[in-house]
Structure 1
Amino acid sequence: MEALLPTRARPGARRPGAVPLLTVAEVAAVMRVSKMTVYRLVHNGHLPSIRVGRSFRVAECDLLGWCRWW
């Protein structure tokens, strides 16, 4: 599953121990579903996320955990 996650444009730009956050579009690409499906999962509380401004971000570890659970 880790190989499916998108690579970052600047490797090493993250702080050590920082959790990578994925956009809704990136999550949809990994799960092979539409963005609307991801928004539904987020709004229903099935997929943990955080709000950044007006958009949502999903922690990479939360996505992997959700995929293993599902």
Structure 2
Amino acid sequence: MASYQPAAPHQAPSTPPELLTVPQVMACLQIGRSAVYDLLRNRQLASITLGRARRIPARALTDFIRARLDQEAA
């Protein structure tokens, strides 16, 4: 007699999210919350606001890191 095995729940592929939260950016850059908000306030890091939530596009974070690397190399 065969036993019933439930199907595994559908899982999204392991890709980074399109929009990051401030704590995710803090963890990625290993900086504090105020430092992230300073980058947002000075428009060094692009973001969008959804209601009261601030989200940073993953592409904006990548562009920020690339620009800082270019600055350091120059």
User: Normalised by the size of structure 1, how large is the TM-score?
Assistant: 0.71
Where do 1:10-25 residues align within 5 Å?
Answer: 11-12=12-13, 20-25=18-23
Whole-angstrom CA distance in 2 between matches of 1:39 and 1:55: 13
Read off the aligned partner of 1:43 and give its amino acid letter: R
Q: Which residue of 1 aligns with 2:50?
A: 52
Q: Deviations over 1:6-59 (max 9, x none)?
A: xxxx525xxxxxx70000000010000001110111011110000011121000
- SS of residue paired to 1:11: coil
Q: Which residue of 2 aligns with 1:62?
A: 60
Which is higher, the Rg of structure 1 or of structure 2? Answer: 2
Which residues of structure 2 form unaligned runs of 5+? 1-10, 69-74
Q: Percent identity?
A: 33
List 4+ stretches of structure 1 deviating above 6 A: none
Instruction: Name which structure has the greater RCO, CA cutoff 8 Å, separation 6+.
Output: 1
Q: Which residue of 2 aligns with 1:7?
A: none
User: Normalised by the size of structure 2, how large is the TM-score?
Assistant: 0.67
Whole-angstrom CA distance in 2 between matches of 1:64 and 1:45: 15
